[in-house]
Amino acid sequence: MKNNNYIIKSCLLLLVLLSSVAAANQVQGVRVWPSPDNTRIVFDMAAAPVHKSFTLNKPERLVIDLSNIKGGSTLPQISGESALIKAIRSSGDANKMRIVLDLNKATKTSVFALPPTPPYGHRLVVDLFDDSPVENIPPVAIRAARDIVIAIDAGHGGEDPGSIGPSGFYEKNITLPVATQLARLINAQPGMKAMMVRTNDYYIHVNKRTEIARGQQADLLVSIHADAFTSPQPRGASVWVLSMRRATTEVGRMLEQTERHSELLGGVAEIIKDSVNERYLAQTVLDLSMNHSMITAHQVASEVLLELDRIAFLHKKEPQAASLGVLKAPDIPSILVEIGFISNPQEEKLLKSASHQSKLAQSLFTALKRHFEKSPPADSLFAQQRSREHRVSAGESLSLLAQRYNVSIDDLRHINKLSSDSINVGQTLRIP
Ligand SMILES: [Zn+2]
């Protein structure tokens, strides 16, 4: 009996040890502690953090990558404030989380883990050292914000060359460099993050492409292709969105797969025990998200056409609806951009040129950024920046506020449509 007990206990202990090794980590809290010459940020962790960090400049940022992180990319509410930090934002991959601290100026940084000491558990500590304190800048409360995730799909790849131009050039070899450059532009933009569906010359099935985008919780899926026709004349770019008919078919298909309901409904599915109600709710959620994604896709497609019109000939001036390529996810806003006709000899030459490829990437980026500046997701950094407001107190001037928020006086005047520099106590100003 004693022996048995011992074995059971050892087994239990082993189980506990094994599960603590395998357990995914989680950020449970964020605390900011400012002092005159440094700021300490403490991330309360569920387990010992596995982390890497590096800094970027113009704009100044500290990037922390955490691995073995479970569940989503949203940070808990941040307590505390600092004059050094503009924003703390986060994004996530499967098992990974990236935290970006947007800083007001270049600072020395130090990132390290601390073991549990009551009352605290595991912690990841970030110290920002400030040898020349930012004068006259009262700290501003920091809110957690996430990056807008753009999934970029370079059409075709591997054994699938896509269309082949008259000179023998492959579509797959145009889509990848344009996609890669677009991703680079997006990743350099604070508040946006790109995720490449394929990163090199290999084949991925169309169904898998939308799954990858869904797995990354993408706000938008952009698929890049080049058009082709049997005669050499047709030319120009076009932008395609999911057709209503295909969207409805896909909704029906997703509803048939009951195992997908919980994926769609999140935690709610566990509360509803009744499959009829679950199906009804899944239908409602899908209809709502289908509406949202189709409207979003149409708006983005229009912005993209507006930009492409500046640098390329347009084959179609309006967004086109179709059920082609990756345009099959009713729950993710998706567009497919045909950047030109590879079957047209002149356009094939143009599409092969590095300078035209970078113009295309730049146009796509400008259009996407403008769309998300106009309609940012509520929990994104873009939304946070758009909603910054300041109520004027006694003794404050336009130049003081410009300094405090690290913006130019011109921008403040412009966004608030001020004809002079005089502001009144109690007046609410928008901060760009
Ligand atoms: Zn294609």
Kindly give, in sequence order, each residue whose CB lies less than 8 Å from that of residue 37, ignoring residues fewer than 6 positions away. Answer: 129, 130, 131, 133
Ligand 1 centroid to residue 92 C-alpha, Å: 29
Q: Which CATH architecture has domain 389-430?
A: Roll (3.10)
Helix 354-374 vs helix 275-311: angle between axes, to the nearest 10 degrees?
130
Question: Along the 432 residues of the chain, how does pLDDT read in single tens digits?
Answer: 334 444 444 444 444 444 444 458 889 889 888 777 788 899 999 999 999 999 998 888 999 999 888 766 778 888 878 878 888 888 887 788 889 998 888 888 999 998 888 888 999 999 988 776 655 555 556 667 889 999 999 999 999 999 999 999 999 999 999 999 999 999 999 999 999 999 999 999 988 999 999 888 899 999 999 999 999 999 999 999 988 888 888 888 877 777 777 666 665 555 666 667 777 777 777 777 888 888 999 999 999 999 999 999 999 999 999 877 788 888 889 999 999 999 999 999 999 999 999 999 999 999 999 999 999 998 898 888 776 778 888 888 999 888 888 788 988 898 888 888 889 888 888 887
Q: Where are the domains of the chain?
A: 24-146, 148-374, 389-430
Ligand 1 centroid to residue 371 C-alpha, Å: 25
Ligand 1 centroid to residue 428 C-alpha, Å: 50
Ligand 1 centroid to residue 165 C-alpha, Å: 12
Q: Which CATH architecture has domain 24-146?
A: Sandwich (2.60)
Ligand 1 centroid to residue 248 C-alpha, Å: 24
Domains 148-374 and 389-430 equal at CATH topology level: no
Ligand 1 centroid to residue 347 C-alpha, Å: 15
* Integer Cα distance of 47 and 75 in angstroms: 16
* Integer Cα distance of 368 and 374 in angstroms: 10
User: What CATH number does domain 148-374 carry, 3.40.630.40, 2.60.40.10, 3.40.50.2300, 3.40.1280.10?
Assistant: 3.40.630.40
Ligand 1 centroid to residue 186 C-alpha, Å: 23
Ligand 1 centroid to residue 348 C-alpha, Å: 14
- The sign of the torsion formed by the CA atoms of 288, 291, 294, 297 equals negative
Ligand 1 centroid to residue 175 C-alpha, Å: 8
Ligand 1 centroid to residue 163 C-alpha, Å: 6
